[in-house]
Structure 1
Amino acid sequence: MYDNCADVVVEKNITLFERDKCSELTDKLANEVRVALVYNGISHTVMLASPQDLEEFAIGFTLSERIVSNINEIKGIDVEHVENGIIIHIEITQRCFVDLKEHRRSMAGRTGCGLCGVAQLDDAVKPIKTVDSDAVFNMEFLSSVLATAKMKQSNFELTGATHAALGLNSKGEVIYIYEDIGRHIALDKLIGAFSRRNAEKPVAVLLTSRASFEMVQKAASAGIQILFAMSAVTALAAELAEKSNITLVGFCRNGRANVYSHSFRLQNRLAPVTTI
């Protein structure tokens, strides 16, 4: 199963039934690989992820899960390909490692709900973190951003099975794009990319998925002020966005969008943008 664990897209011979015809062809599938995160030699969690941009994932996950408070507390990352998957060895400061050992929990396989394996209810909700208020985004750029997003999702174009997180600058240009089978992992990869030293921080982030509670929580941890989602927003996500001072926008498609919180960062909002 994991013979091609380094490949992002794999091919498989299939039988296609279409109307009254049957044919043999080759389909392209998004690869789904076990990725273990190991901190200072101790296994922390196993995720199912696309096997690309794994260093960015390690950085983003470590920051967004608040295992460390800043990137300088990550001392080293090593990616090891093994027989049944991939191991990412992450070295963090001793202080952070002591804190991690006190709060360790099993979080295996979070592709779906994002909270599977959490042992205690309190583990699911981190302390509220508020973001700054200086970001501004012109909503006139949204239509072109959505068109660009569609063109730039190369893995989705091949497989139809991946999510993407895109970082946008103040001109509405896509400066980062990361794809993964897991929507929260795509966001972690994006966070890892712009958290590096001297990297440009996006003014806004666009998700091709829904915006759930965990996605907003990760955005707050990374200081993301504006979060767009092409799909729906959950009630808990909207509540957290309000408390975290995040501008949360859902159903971004076909020239419209629903603004759920803190619309003050959005300029020249075009009808029929709706404030919920």
Structure 2
Amino acid sequence: MPSAVTTLSRWQDGRLEPGEDLVAGECPVAISFNRRPYVVMMATPANLEELGLGFCLTEGLLDDAGELLASRVIERDQGVELALTVAETALARLDGQRRNLSGRTGCGLCGAETLEQAMAVPPKVGEQLQVSHQALQSALASLEANQPLQAATGAVHCAAWCDAGGRVVTAREDVGRHNALDKLLGWRASAGPGGGFVVVSSRASYEMVHKCAMAGVELLLAVSAPTALAIAYAEHCGLSLVGFARPGRHNIYTAPGRVVNG
């Protein structure tokens, strides 16, 4: 379940009283390919098929969504198995990328076995998108209203897809920021929306930039700050990285030409 009710003791105004609270769900999700185990990650158990597709595309395990032939969510005693069936061409690539290690919530590099695998250079992104500063601010202003699980539990991250005008088209939430982004990019790969950009409720780390670049996203808007490595990778692949977004202000760190007055 994405959330669950728990009992607790609440101390307030000098008094201790019994109570209940809604908490975010978190469980092990084991991804397998053609019945072969590959990786275990901690995630909020919702939109898992989108998580699987997004993870495969942003990690370079699949060249395109068409290589994922089927997906099935199977309840297990200790968690959930996401059983993916992929084309034989993809399976051959996977055989050379052993990654069946456990990943903690929100870890973007868990399972990478070499520096070369962890720091793979993302491809260049396209140059079709153009957005206004007001569109970025509109997306930021709409983000909170698209985070029902965060509003209820206060424990999850959000990634949202916005059209070029700044309207939030859809959003995904998860206890892991990388998972929330993978879920969103998995949805995008299936839904095929038009031009737009990604806004995330977290900081903009290298992994978040890398995943967006792998999915061909041209602009990433983050509520918090980017890291130096995220900026370097965004510059390399031509992605517009916007961070420290607050009402009435934001910082454009790379590729500012996509953002215009208006």
Instruction: Assess same fold via TM > 0.5.
Output: yes
CA contact (8 A) 2:106 2:175 kept: no
Q: Secondary structure at the match of 2:16?
A: strand
CA contact (8 A) 1:194 1:201 kept: no
CA contact (8 A) 1:165 1:177 kept: yes
The CA distance in 2 between the partners of 1:90 and 1:254, in whole Å, is: 41
Which of 86, 90, 97 is 1:96 aligned to? 90
Which of 196, 199, 203 is 1:206 aligned to? 199
Q: Kindly provide the amino acid, as one letter, of the partner of residue 19 in structure 1.
A: D
CA contact (8 A) 2:39 2:102 kept: yes
> Where does residue 128 of structure 1 map in the other structure?
122
CA contact (8 A) 2:160 2:200 kept: yes
CA contact (8 A) 1:130 1:244 kept: yes
CA drift at 1:114: 1.8
> Where does residue 274 of structure 1 map in the other structure?
none
Q: Kindly provide the amino acid, as one letter, of the partner of residue 164 in structure 2.
A: S
**Structure 1 stretches of 4+ moved >6 Å:** none
RMSD between aligned alpha carbons? 1.3
Structure 2 gaps of 5+ residues are: none
Which of 216, 222, 237 is 1:244 aligned to? 237
The CA distance in 1 between the partners of 2:211 and 2:104, in whole Å, is: 14
> Where does residue 40 of structure 1 map in the other structure?
34
Q: Kindly provide the amino acid, as one letter, of the partner of residue 263 in structure 1.
A: P
> Where does residue 172 of structure 1 map in the other structure?
166
Residue pairs, 1:185-264, within 5 angstroms = 185-196=179-190, 199-264=192-257
CA drift at 1:202: 4.7
Q: Find out whether 1:60 has 2:15 as its counterpart.
A: no
* TM-score, normalised relative to structure 2: 0.96
The CA distance in 2 between the partners of 1:113 and 1:47, in whole Å, is: 9
Q: Find out whether 1:114 has 2:111 as its counterpart.
A: no
CA drift at 1:75: 0.9
* TM-score, normalised relative to structure 1: 0.91
CA contact (8 A) 1:162 1:179 kept: yes
The CA distance in 2 between the partners of 1:65 and 1:201, in whole Å, is: 23
Q: Find out whether 1:158 has 2:179 as its counterpart.
A: no
Q: Secondary structure at the match of 2:20?
A: strand
CA drift at 1:165: 0.4
